Structure 1
Amino acid sequence: MKILQVSTVGTTLNSFLLPFARAFKSEGWIVDAAASGIFDFDQVVSTHNRCFDVEFCRNPLNISKLLSSLRKIRKIIKKEKYDVVHVHTPIAAFLTRLASIGVKQTKVYYTAHGFHYVSSNPFWKNGIFYLTEKIAGLKTDHLFVINNDDYNFALKYNIVKRELISYIHGIGVDPERYQYLPNAREEVFDELELSENTIVILHVAELNKNKNHDVMLKALSMFKAKFPYCKVHYLIVGEGMKKHDLEVQIESLDLMEHVSLLGRRNDIPKLLSACDIVTLSSIREGLPRCILEAMCVKKPIIASNIRGCNDLLSTGAGILVNEKSSELWADAIESLCFSPKKRKLMGTVGRQLIDDKYSDDKIVDQVINVYKKDFKHD
C-alpha cells in the first residue's frame, strides 16, 4: 500500500503523526508526507519515504495562492498514484480533498482534529464551516473524529455516511515519553527561583485568542486577592501573537512575581513533573494533547467545559469550568490548591484513562484496522 500523509504545516507531522508513519511502514507500506516547511523537521524527513513541501495558503481570500496549493498537491497525488491520501488540519484537508476529485484510484481519509463548528460561533460562521465540510465530504472515503461532539455533529449533518465514520480517542500519546521525573521539581524551582511550598500551575498552549489565557490571569488575580499569603506561580509555555498583550495584562494585574512566560520549551515532561496543576482555558479544542500529556504524569487538570476537554475530564481527572468565567476559574484554583488529596486522586484517574484507551499504540491500531478493512474489500 502507498500512503500520503498531508498537513498544513510540518510541525503537525513532527509533533503528532510520526507514530502513524512508523506503524504504517512496519506493515510494509510506503509512507510519504506533504506539508508547508516539511524539510525543517529532520525526524519527519527520515521517518517518511519521500517528503513534499507544499505551501498551503492560510488566507481564504488569497485565491491565487489557494489555487497554486491545490494544483501542486493534485499533481503529486496523480503522479504518485497513492492508495490512500490521509489528510489532517482544516486547510490542507479541504484543499487536498478538492484536489483529489476525479482521482479514482486514490481513497482519501480525513482525521478531523476538532471541527471549527462551535455552538458559540455566529450562525453565518458555522454555516461556512458546515458548507466546506459538506463539499469536501464528497471526496472523503473515511472520516476519523476524535471527540464525542464531533462524532454527533458528523452524524447529525450527514458529513459522510455513518458507516464511513470512525470515532477514535484522539491521536494518542506516548506514556513512555511522558513519565514522572523525580528530580524535575527541584531543577525547575532552582531555575525559576521559586520557594519550596509554591503551588505551580502549568499552561502549555500557543499564545493566541483561542487559548484564552486572559481568563486564567484574571482568575489568578482574584485568587491572590482572596489568599494573598498563598504561594502560587503560573507558568505559561508557548509562543504566539498575543505575547505582548499578555505581558501588559500581567503588569496591569500586578502579577509579575506570580507569572512566568517561558516561551517555547523542549522539556515538557520535566515541567509536567515539576508542576502541581495543569490548566487549559481554550475556547475551542479537538482532543487536547497537552491534557493527555498531563494525565500521563498523574497531574490534575482545570480545563474549559468544551468538547474534547469534557471527553477527558468528565470521569474525574480534573475540573471543568465555563471558559468565560474568571470567578469559576478562581474557585477551581482554590479547590485544588488547598487539597493535595484531591489532586492526587484526579491524577490517578487520569493515568488510568491513558492506560485504558488514550495511549498512541491503541489509537494507531484502530486506524490501521480501518485501512486493512477497507482494502480487504477491494
Structure 2
Amino acid sequence: MEITQRAFLLPISQYLRSQGWLVDAVAAEIKTCTACQSSYDRIYEIDWTRNPLNLRNLTRASAQVRKIVERGDYDLVHVHTPVAAFVTRYALRNLRRIGKPKIIYTAHGFHFHRNGRPLSNAIFLGLEKLAGRWTDYLVVINREDEAAARRYRIVPPERVRYMPGIGIDLDQYTAERVSQEDIKRVREELKLEERHKLLLMVAAFDPGKRHKDAIEALALLRRKEVVLAFAGEGPLRPRIEELAQRVGVAEQVRFLGFRKDIPALMRASVATVLTSEREGLPRAVMESMALGVPVIGADARGTRDLLESGAGIVVPVGNVVALAEAMQYLINHPEEADRMGKHGLGVIRAYDLANILRLHVELYDEALREKRSAVFNA
C-alpha cells in the first residue's frame, strides 16, 4: 500500500494541497504509512481486502466508504486500485443521482487484455462495464486501454480521458543524480568484476511478471559473464530461486529483495528487463528511460507504448528465444544500447510529473465546473 501511495498518489495530493485543495484519503492500512499522514488532510482506515471474491468488500467495506463520503460531503472522489475502485463506486452508486460526488476512476491497466484468457477477459470486462455505470470519468494510461474503453463503451466515449501514466519526477530520476561511487558500490555489493555485464529486472514476484522467462533466457545465453539481478519480493521468489538452480544459472543470478537504490542499480546495468504479460504503464520502464538505460520489454500494453519508438527492444510475451537474442544484442552492441538509452530520455519527457499534475487539475476543473472543495482518493 505504501509503495502505491508514494509512487502514484502522494505527489498528486501534495501538489493539490499546495494549490488550496482539501485532500483526504481512504485505504487499507493507511495509518501505517507515515508519509500519508503528512500528505493528506485526513486519512481513513478501511476494512477491505485485495481479494475481489471477498464478500466483505461489498458489505462492511462498502458501508464504511459510504459513511465516510456522506460525512465528508465531498465534491469529487477519485479511485485507483481495482478492488477499492469497484467497491467505492458500488457504495456510492445511488449518491450519483444527485450529482455529488463526481466519481473519477483511473484504470492502471484493465484486467482484460490481449494477452489474457478468454474467460477471465469476459469476466473482468463485464465488471468494468457494470462499474462504468457508476463512473463520471474514466482515466486510462495506455493506448490499448483507451481503445478498449471506447470500443466497449465502458463509459460514454466523451468521458474517457487518456493520461500518460501517473507521472515521474524527472528532476529526481536523472543520471546526474547517480554518481560513479554509487555505481561502484552497487557492483561491489553484487560481487561483479569488470568483465561482468549486469541485467536488472525490477518487479514483484507475482505470476504475471513471468520472472521465469528471464531465467530461461539467461540459461540460453550460455555466457558466464552476464549477471541477472532481481529487485523485488513476492510469493513466487522461492520458485524462481529453485528454477535458477535447476537450469544451472544460480551463480549468475542475484536476488536483491526490496531496494531503495533502484536508480544506482539501473545505471550499473547494460539494460533493464521486464517480462510481464500485463502492465498498465510500468514505472520500472519509465524510471529506466529517465535514467538513460535501455529496456528489453515483453509486448504488453504500456510497455509497448513506452518502447515502440526505439527506447529499447520489444519481444513477444513468453518468447524466451527472442528475449535471449535481445539480451545478446544489447550486450554485444554497447553503442546501440547507448543510442536507445538517449532516445528514451526524449520520449519520457511527455510523462513528466508536472504534465500529469496539469492534466489532473484540468480534469478536476472540468468535473467540478471550476468549483473546488475537496478531493477523496481511494
Report the TM-score when normalising by structure 2. 0.94
Structure-2 residue corresponding to 1:165: 160
Structure-1 residue corresponding to 2:184: 186
Which whole-Å deviations, capped at 9, do the CAs of 1:85-138 have from their partners, x for residues lacking one? 100011000000011112232011000000001223332211111111111111
Structure 1 contact 208–240 (Cα < 8 Å) conserved: yes
Aligned to 1:196, the other structure's residue is in SS state: coil
Which whole-Å deviations, capped at 9, do the CAs of 1:145-181 have from their partners, x for residues lacking one? 0000000000000001111111010111111222221
Which whole-Å deviations, capped at 9, do the CAs of 1:43-74 have from their partners, x for residues lacking one? 11111000011132223333235411111111
Out of 169-178 and 87-96, give the one that drifted further: 169-178
Residue 367 (str. 1) matches residue 364 (str. 2): no
Structure-2 residue corresponding to 1:288: 282
Query: Equivalences for 1:317-332 in 2 at 5 Å?
Result: 317-332=311-326
Instruction: For residue 272 of structure 1, report the CA deviation from its aligned partner.
Output: 1.5
Structure 1 contact 11–41 (Cα < 8 Å) conserved: no
Task: Quote the RMSD (CA, aligned, Å).
Answer: 1.3
Query: Equivalences for 1:96-111 in 2 at 5 Å?
Result: 96-103=88-95, 104=98, 105-111=100-106
Structure-1 residue corresponding to 2:299: 305
Instruction: For residue 377 of structure 1, report the CA deviation from its aligned partner.
Output: 6.7
Amino acid at match of 1:57: T
- Give me the whole-angstrom Cα distance separating, in 2, the residues matched to 1:125 and 1:161: 24
Aligned to 1:278, the other structure's residue is in SS state: strand
> Unmatched 5+ residue regions in structure 2?
372-378
Structure 1 contact 57–66 (Cα < 8 Å) conserved: no
Q: Structure 1 residues 297 and 61, CA, compared in 2 at 3 Å: closer, same or farther? A: closer
Amino acid at match of 1:90: P
Pick aligned residue for 1:27 from 5, 12, 19: 19
Structure 2 contact 62–90 (Cα < 8 Å) conserved: yes
Identity of aligned residues (%): 36
- Give me the whole-angstrom Cα distance separating, in 2, the residues matched to 1:89 and 1:376: 26
Instruction: For residue 254 of structure 1, report the CA deviation from its aligned partner.
Output: 1.3
Residue 220 (str. 1) matches residue 218 (str. 2): yes
> Unmatched 5+ residue regions in structure 1?
1-8
Structure-2 residue corresponding to 1:6: none
Instruction: For residue 274 of structure 1, report the CA deviation from its aligned partner.
Output: 1.5
Aligned to 2:59, the other structure's residue is in SS state: helix
Structure-1 residue corresponding to 2:374: none
Runs of 4+ in structure 1 deviating by more than 3 angstroms, as ranges, are none
Structure 1 contact 14–41 (Cα < 8 Å) conserved: no
Query: Equivalences for 1:113-262 in 2 at 5 Å?
Result: 113-180=108-175, 181-183=178-180, 184-224=182-222, 227-228=223-224, 231-262=225-256
Aligned to 1:282, the other structure's residue is in SS state: coil
Structure 1 contact 177–269 (Cα < 8 Å) conserved: no
Amino acid at match of 1:333: M
Which whole-Å deviations, capped at 9, do the CAs of 1:250-279 have from their partners, x for residues lacking one? 111111211000001111111112112100
Amino acid at match of 1:265: R
Structure 1 contact 236–260 (Cα < 8 Å) conserved: yes
- Give me the whole-angstrom Cα distance separating, in 1, the residues matched to 2:56 and 2:171: 45
Out of 292-301 and 48-57, give the one that drifted further: 48-57
Out of 97-106 and 301-310, give the one that drifted further: 97-106
Residue 13 (str. 1) matches residue 2 (str. 2): no
- Give me the whole-angstrom Cα distance separating, in 2, the residues matched to 1:67 and 1:133: 19
Aligned to 1:257, the other structure's residue is in SS state: helix
Which whole-Å deviations, capped at 9, do the CAs of 1:293-318 have from their partners, x for residues lacking one? 00111000000111111100010000
Aligned to 2:185, the other structure's residue is in SS state: helix
Aligned to 1:172, the other structure's residue is in SS state: coil
- Give me the whole-angstrom Cα distance separating, in 2, the residues matched to 1:85 and 1:114: 19
Aligned to 1:101, the other structure's residue is in SS state: coil
Report the TM-score when normalising by structure 1. 0.94
Structure 1 contact 250–259 (Cα < 8 Å) conserved: yes
Instruction: For residue 10 of structure 1, report the CA deviation from its aligned partner.
Output: 4.2
Aligned to 1:176, the other structure's residue is in SS state: coil
Structure-2 residue corresponding to 1:3: none
Structure 1 contact 10–36 (Cα < 8 Å) conserved: no
Residue 82 (str. 1) matches residue 74 (str. 2): yes
